[in-house]
Amino acid sequence: MGSRKDFIEATDFMAKHQIIPEVSHVLRGLEESEQGFKLLASGDHVGKIVIKFPGRTPEGDVRL
């Protein structure tokens, strides 16, 4: 995990070099979380598995 300083340095690096994580799947709410665990176990994904909560809007420039 690293320290708070490590986290800040890593996010600054990502912003500076415009590194955007690849999103493989977007799941809708906790009721689909089991599907996410199955995807992780199978290895049939490339990128992040995101759980999006209805009614919540992320802050900043988020591309989902």
Q: What is the pLDDT of residues 37-54, one digit of tens each?
A: 999 999 988 999 999 987
Give the amino acid at 29: G
The C-alpha atoms of residue 64 and residue 49 are separated, in whole angstroms, by: 11
pLDDT digits (tens, 9 = 90+) for 4-40: 999 999 999 999 999 998 999 999 999 999 999 999 9
Separation in Å, CA 8 to CA 1, 14, 23 = 12, 10, 22
Is residue 41 included in any domain, yes or no? yes
Domain that holds residue 40: 21-56
CB atoms within 10 A of CB 53: 10
Does residue 42 lie within any of the structural domains? yes
Q: What's the residue count for the chain?
A: 64
pTM above 0.75, yes or no: no
| Residue 46 belongs to some domain of the structure | yes
Query: What is the Cα–Cα distance from 56 to 24, expressed in whole angstroms?
Result: 20
